[in-house]
Amino acid sequence: MHLRKKKWSDNFDSFPNYLKEENDILSFLQNNSFDLEIGSGKGDFIYQKSLDNPQTIFLAIEKSHNVLAYLLRDLYHKPLNNLYIINSHIEDLFTKIKDNTVQNIYLNFSDPWPKKRHNKNRLTADNKVNEYHRILKNEGHIYLKTDNISLFEEAQLHFTKPNFKIISCDNDYQLVLGDVLTEYEKRFRALNIKINRLVIKRT
């Protein structure tokens, strides 16, 4: 997702739950259990999940500050005490997240990196799957949604391992109670594009 820098995008950087300093990031990751969305985009999904589940701590990771600014703007106008934000690549944070810390991981319409030579960059690549297993709590879950069939099929292969169990595999997913639409999902459903969804449990 590429957006031009918004003139107002720096206006919301003072939001207290926006973790920018290295010490603040490390302290949060080392001292909390949380649900994690990797690639939160403009934050439609994670904001609503946080609103619906005030007793759960949520962490949104997004690499683009220009995109993240939309979520910061929403939080400025309606703060949520249980939602924290880091502007970073997940690869730069894995070593800072403790083992068995995360209850749920959300991978919503992640970049499919369609060229074969770039597949290692996918959030479903083996190196990342191994990290998910490490940071997830026992019987924690990964929820993956995508419109990209190649990413969906590859994910099924990578998560078919002794330490994971696919408990739901749906290539025409209809919303279940408690789920939230993402920005992309709203667009795709309006265009009658099928949504693929996996639910994986750490065993």
Looking only at the bridges linking them, the beta strands covering 164-170 and 18-19 are unpaired
Q: How many CA atoms lie within 13 A of 64 on its CB side?
A: 16
Examine the pLDDT at 2 and tell me if it is beyond 60: no
pLDDT band at 5 (very low <50, low <70, confident <90, very high): low
Does the predicted model carry a pTM greater than 0.85? yes
User: pLDDT of 97-151, one tens digit each?
Assistant: 999 999 999 999 999 887 877 778 899 999 999 999 999 999 999 999 999 999 9
Q: Which of the 8 DSSP states describes residue 168? A: E
Looking only at the bridges linking them, the beta strands covering 136-146 and 83-87 are unpaired
Q: Give the length of the chain.
A: 203
Q: Which of the 8 DSSP states describes residue 171? A: S
Domain 24-202 has CATH 3.30.420.590: no
> 98: which 2 tokens?
């403790």
Instruction: Kindly state the average pLDDT of the residues 87-98.
Output: 96
Q: CA dist 55 to 21, 35, 47, 58, 139, Å?
A: 25, 11, 14, 10, 19
Q: Which of the 8 DSSP states describes residue 97? A: S
Examine the pLDDT at 64 and tell me if it is beyond 80: yes
For 108-121, the DSSP string reads ES-----SGGGGGG
Q: Is residue 201 within 8 Å of 172, Cβ to Cβ? A: no
Burial class of residue 152, CB neighbours in 10 A (0-12, 13-18, 19+): buried
Examine the pLDDT at 186 and tell me if it is beyond 50: yes
Q: How many CA atoms lie within 13 A of 191 on its CB side?
A: 9
d(CA 187, CA 118): 26
Q: Is residue 107 within 8 Å of 122, Cβ to Cβ? A: no
- Helices and strands (DSSP H and E) totals, the chain: 6, 8
Domain residue ranges of the chain, discontinuous segments joined by + = 24-202
